[in-house]
Chain A
Amino acid sequence: MSQDTALQVNNLRVSYMTGGQEVKAVDDVSFSLYPGERLGVVGESGSGKTTLALALMRLHKPPAYIMGGEAILDGSDILALEREEIRQTRWSKLSLIPQGSMNSLNPVVKIKHQMADAIEAHERGWTRRQIAKHITELLGRVGLPDSVAEMYPHELSGGMKQRVCIALAIILEPSVIIADEPTSALDVVVQRVVMQTLNDVQEQLNAAMIIIGHDMGLMAQSADRLAVMYAGKMVEVAPISSFFSDPQHPYSQLLINSLPSPEEKRELAAIPGSQPSLLELPSGCAFHPRCPIAEGRCEQEIPLLRNIREDRRAACHLVEEQVS
């Protein structure tokens, strides 16, 4: 898999340096993203999802540092680009739909100017009329009236703001879109509609998309594949349908068991214990203190994310024994 991936991430490590200590927020993460594909990334708060997203955009701020790895986008390693090169790459090839979209638009600038400056920053040589036409067209595509272009962010509802952010993300037709909890600030009804809009525009562009979130229901509806993160590591990557029908990693199994289901009314199964502090990770597999099937080996050896079937990967010592 070299040419046909939209984004290839290899051994990415991002750490926060606090008080002389290295906190590994993203630890040796590798994955491939194919054109037109929607990859969901789920995990508890603090599992490194957002750090991963920011690092891929090179938007991480000290004390976060990229400690190693590569991220190949369109033939070049994003992590090795110079400042000006990364600036040109952002948005034209790789765009972001931010987490706190309530606050993601400049409050004192009209929507059309906030959309236009993204185009102008990349010197596409468009005339002012072309830009205006493009903006109107994009707003229409995300289901907003033309008049929104002349408005300020405070005149829009939360859902409308998020639609503006979606329109903004596809303005330069990037090959990869990173959506960092794109709907977490919205109510459930609006969530579905906005998510649908996002999926539609992504399909039209045939862009690859990374959807970060913790709403498993939303993921089940949108994502093609799902990656589960735990304490900075990816512990399982699987196609969405087989993930829900046949989760491999014990953490994934517990995660699915903890979802409420309308068919059988039962006590919700919470995952025992809590996510370990990244400052003092357990030895071996970081999940072993909470794992129901952990054995001696799990306390010593860190399991690697490996192929367990053709399209599935998991990081658990015990998976193979279970499957075969």
Chain B
Amino acid sequence: MFLVVVLLAATLNFIIPRMAPGDPIGAVLEELRARGAGTQSDAEDEIVAAYRARFGLDQPTHIQYFRFLFNTLRFDLGYSISYYPQKVERALLRALPWTVGLLAISTVLSFAAGSFFGAMMAWPRAPGFMRRFVPMFMVLSAVPYYLLGLILVYVFAFVMRILPLGGAYSSGTIPQLDLDFLLDVIRHGMLPALSIVLTSVGFWALGMRGVMVTVLGEDYLTLAEAKGLPDRRIFFGYAMRNALLPQVTSLAIALGTVASGSVLVEVVFNYPGIGWLLYNALRSSDYYMVQGVTFFLILTVAVSVLIVDMIYPLLDPRIER
């Protein structure tokens, strides 16, 4: 199943960029021309032909396809056209930690906070002010994260100047594993993470609240209370424990789409992650880079769904392994 998904995805991935208008070599040449190079037209034709041969674009489509599949399976994603001679997988690997660090952490954070708040909003013995969060979460979940991101940048980075405008670390510093660099990274990650957490926490909270209301009506909650269990135990062990199950499935899908879904956050904050890479690749019709990134994204969705499939029986014994 997993392999079929990946194979299908790879195929679609091959076809779709080729159907899009624009020619990658042309795009590169245009860029070169804009910089004032290669104006002679016959030389240009030669350059185009040479480049096409170099990237295998002169081959018939089916040969390109099989070569693509074969290389993909070896995780050889080819050369980036616009950053030639950089390999796509190298660019991906360099962007990956940033995306995983920023997006995965903020998604998990917002999942945890949202689920907890959502459960509290449905819990009858929670403090009364908890229920007041409902409209706030509804509004927040309707705000697009890139818009909130822009507002946050304006307030915290432009007006108050307490946090940096963008990037993953201060320019001029050399990435290394020490405390100063780590703090710098956290400072830079704060605003983009905040914009993702704030706009997605409502989704988790409202979803959790809905499931929680159903679970609270179950007979096993009545029995748990009749057993004289302390409130905390009922809340965490019985109510939240069961209400979390559908949330975990959503989390798997959300984690998979994390990178693609948050492309614009990385663009707004100029964050050197996978979303940013994809955005730039699309702008310059960089076939191989687009293919590489999308293939990678599909792979992450498939892998995270696979992981959830494997751990789900541990969470819910009714699902057979």
Which residues on the B side are within 8 Å of A90 (C-beta)? 225-228
A89-B228, A91-B226, A91-B228 known; A103+B245 contact, CB < 8 A: no
* Interface size classification for chain B: 20 to 34
Which residues on the B side are within 8 Å of A59 (C-beta)? 222, 225-226
Q: Does B219 contact A (CB under 8 A)?
A: yes
Q: Does A8 contact B (CB under 8 A)?
A: no
- Which chain A residues (101-142) contact chain B, with CB distance < 8 Å? 101-109, 117-118, 121-122
Tell me the complex Cα distance, A88–B238, Å.
19
Write the chain A residue with the least CB distance to B316: A108
Write the chain B residue with the least CB distance to A93: B228
Inter-chain contact B219/A87, CB cutoff 8 Å: no
Inter-chain contact A91/B224, CB cutoff 8 Å: no
Inter-chain contact A87/B238, CB cutoff 8 Å: no
Which residues on the B side are within 8 Å of A96 (C-beta)? 223, 226
Q: Mark B203-245, 1 if CB is under 8 A from A, else 0.
A: 0000000000000001110111111111001000110011001
Tell me the complex Cα distance, A99–B237, Å.
22
Tell me the complex Cα distance, A238–B220, Å.
34
Write the chain A residue with the least CB distance to B224: A106
Tell me the complex Cα distance, A14–B218, Å.
22
Which residues on the B side are within 8 Å of A109 (C-beta)? 237, 241
Which residues on the A side are within 8 Å of B242 (C-beta)? 106-108
Say which residue of A57, A105, A108, A154 sits within 8 Å of B226 (CB atoms): A57
Write the chain B residue with the least CB distance to A84: B230
Inter-chain contact B316/A168, CB cutoff 8 Å: no
Which residues on the B side are within 8 Å of A75 (C-beta)? none
CB of B232 to closest CB in A, whole Å: 11
Question: Chain A interface secondary structure, helix, strand, loop or mixed?
Answer: loop
Compute the total of residue contacts between A and B using a CB distance below 8 Å.
79
Which residues on the B side are within 8 Å of A122 (C-beta)? 228
Q: Does A252 contact B (CB under 8 A)?
A: no
Inter-chain contact B228/A103, CB cutoff 8 Å: no
Inter-chain contact A121/B222, CB cutoff 8 Å: no
Inter-chain contact A107/B230, CB cutoff 8 Å: no
Q: Does B315 contact A (CB under 8 A)?
A: yes
Inter-chain contact B317/A105, CB cutoff 8 Å: no
Inter-chain contact B219/A117, CB cutoff 8 Å: no
CB of B235 to closest CB in A, whole Å: 13
Say which residue of B124, B229, B241, B317 sits within 8 Å of A154 (CB atoms): B317
Inter-chain contact A98/B223, CB cutoff 8 Å: yes
Tell me the complex Cα distance, A206–B68, Å.
78
Which residues on the B side are within 8 Å of A108 (C-beta)? 241-242, 245, 315-318
Tell me the complex Cα distance, A90–B233, Å.
15
Tell me the complex Cα distance, A142–B229, Å.
23
Inter-chain contact B219/A168, CB cutoff 8 Å: no
Tell me the complex Cα distance, A96–B226, Å.
7
Inter-chain contact B219/A100, CB cutoff 8 Å: yes
Inter-chain contact B228/A104, CB cutoff 8 Å: no
Which residues on the A side are within 8 Å of B228 (C-beta)? 87-92, 118, 121-122
Inter-chain contact A121/B230, CB cutoff 8 Å: yes
Say which residue of B220, B222, B315, B317 sits within 8 Å of A152 (CB atoms): B317
Tell me the complex Cα distance, A152–B317, Å.
7
Tell me the complex Cα distance, A92–B230, Å.
14
Which residues on the A side are within 8 Å of B245 (C-beta)? 108
- Which chain B residues (123-163) contact chain A, with CB distance < 8 Å? 124
Inter-chain contact B227/A104, CB cutoff 8 Å: no
Which residues on the A side are within 8 Å of B316 (C-beta)? 107-108
Which residues on the B side are within 8 Å of A91 (C-beta)? 226-228
CB of A10 to closest CB in B, whole Å: 23
Which residues on the B side are within 8 Å of A152 (C-beta)? 317-318
Tell me the complex Cα distance, A102–B218, Å.
11
Which residues on the A side are within 8 Å of B237 (C-beta)? 106, 109, 117
Tell me the complex Cα distance, A304–B315, Å.
55
Q: Does A95 contact B (CB under 8 A)?
A: yes
CB of A60 to closest CB in B, whole Å: 10
Tell me the complex Cα distance, A194–B195, Å.
58
Tell me the complex Cα distance, A165–B229, Å.
16
Tell me the complex Cα distance, A89–B219, Å.
20
Write the chain B residue with the least CB distance to A62: B124
Q: Mark B254-286, 1 if CB is under 8 A from A, else 0.
A: 000000000000000000000000000000000
A103-B220, A106-B220, A117-B237 known; A87+B226 contact, CB < 8 A: no
List residues of chain A with CB under 8 Å of any chain B CB.
57, 59, 61, 87-92, 95-96, 98-109, 117-118, 121-122, 152, 154, 165, 168
Shortest 9 CB-CB distances between A and B: which pairs? A90-B228, A103-B219, A96-B226, A118-B227, A91-B228, A152-B317, A100-B219, A104-B219, A104-B223
Beyond A106-B220, A168-B223, 12 additional pairs, beta carbon < 8 A: A61-B124, A89-B228, A92-B228, A95-B227, A102-B219, A103-B218, A103-B220, A104-B220, A106-B224, A117-B237, A121-B227, A121-B230
